[in-house]
Structure 1
Amino acid sequence: MISYLIKILKVKKGAYMKKCEGIYSLIGKVNHKSAIYGFELLKEENIHPRQMPLIIHLKKCEGCTQKELAEKMQVKPSTLNVMIGRMEKNGYIEKKQDEKDSRKSRIYFTEKGRSICEDGHKKFVMIQEKLQEYFTKEEQEELKRLLNKFCDCLDEQTEILKKERKEKSDA
């Protein structure tokens, strides 16, 4: 499968490339289908797939501040605030005032949230296992390599854009 994808990616002007309009479009399609799959898996828990990164990061640093969590997740504090509000409303997380600094609040799972976290982790493992059934070990490694290369490319291009924007505003 991955060798087939590599052949497709090497084609400059094939019919398939016109159909999916390139790598970026294909990644977007995968992301969209992944979100649909996530919606179906998480429907019962009333969790949006985009909230899973919050659950995963909070599991790693329960009791952190909202600012710390936003930095770890690489999202705007306002975006995180909406997520936290919804999850708080659903009874999955709670904010508690910091004992040492009353200006800060820390975020914790409720028992219900801890249970959702465990269920989410099990479903994530299940997804990984199901997806791995479709690829050989070699294909999995090649796909990981290519996706990491894609991420590196996006990071590099983002930094270039930030630098150019800064240079324009300084001029």
Structure 2
Amino acid sequence: MDKRLFYLLNSARQRVYKYADQKAEESLGISVTQLGALMLIATNEGCLLKDLAHSLNLNNSALTGLAARMEHNGLIERRACEQDGRASRLYLTLLGRSKIDSARPLISQLNAAMTEGFNEQEVQVILRFLNRLLNEF
């Protein structure tokens, strides 16, 4: 068994992301990054572009391109911020909301595939480990 934790974590993240991205493209017609953005906007409707960039760990230029593609595809709407005319606030369109609803079975399938073969106690340890990494680093 390979015990190189950092290597395993990085490789697993890349493989899971690639798999999830392929499944999202096939079933929803959007990338997993776009789906993540939609879900974040749904929980904070009217969020600023820079806040979404921070939440997705993307630089501002990468998020600007992502937002432009999402707006072009009818998933989101950008509106000027009333407090700062240079800033944009993001809102979901009906199509964007429907993509989130359509994604719920896919997310359940992905979670089930990742936890297959583990009992509930083992899953709780994995969750505790991953949450610790998110909070400590």
Q: Same fold (TM over 0.5)?
A: yes
- Paired position in structure 2 for 1:11: none
Task: Supply the AA of the counterpart residue of 1:28.
Answer: N
Counterpart in 1 of 2:88? 105
Are positions 1:71 and 2:54 aligned together? yes
Identity, % of aligned pairs?
26
Counterpart in 1 of 2:11? 29
- The 3-state SS of whatever aligns with 2:30 is coil
Offset of residue 100 of structure 1: 5.8
Give, in whole Å, the separation in 1 of the partners of 2:18 and 2:85: 41
- CA separation of 1:135 and 1:103: change in aligned 2, threshold 3 A: same
Deviation at 1:103, TM superposition (A): 3.8
State the Cα distance separating 1:140 from its structure 2 match.
0.4
RMSD: 2.2
> Aligned ranges for residues 75-86 of structure 1 at < 5 Å?
75-86=58-69
**Deviation sequence 1:112-171 (CA, Å, 0-9, x none):** 111111122332123223333321011101112222333455x1xxxxxxxxxxxxxxxx
1:118 aligns with 2:101: yes
For the 8 Å contact 2:25–2:32, the answer to whether it is kept is no
Q: How many pairs were matched up?
A: 136
**Unaligned stretches of 5+ in structure 2?**
none
Structure 2 Cα separation of the partners of residues 141 and 118 of structure 1: 27
SS of 1:94's equivalent in the other structure is: strand
How far did 1:58 drift? 0.7
Structure possessing the higher radius of gyration over alpha carbons = 1
Structure 1 stretch 106-115 or stretch 32-41: which is displaced more? 32-41
* Separation in structure 2 between the aligned mates of residue 98 and residue 50 of structure 1, nearest angstrom: 24
Q: What one-letter code is carried by the residue in structure 1 that aligns with 2:101?
A: E
Structure 1 unaligned segments of length 5 or more: list them: 1-7, 9-15, 156-171
Residue 13 of structure 1 corresponds to which residue in structure 2?
A: none
Any idea what the Cα deviations from partners look like across 1:15-40, whole Å, max 9, x if unmatched? x34xxxx1111112211221222123
Aligned-partner Cα distance in 2 for 1:104–1:33: 35
| AA of the residue aligned to 2:112 | E
Q: Distance in 2 between matches of 1:39 and 1:105?
A: 27
| AA matched with 1:110 | T
With normalisation by structure 2, the TM-score equals 0.82
Matches within 5 A, 1:5-154: 8=1, 16-17=2-3, 22-44=4-26, 45-99=28-82, 101-152=84-135
Q: How has the CA–CA distance of structure 1 residues 91 and 135 changed in structure 2, closer, same or farther, with 3 Å as cutoff? A: same
TM-score for the superposition, normalised by structure 1: 0.68
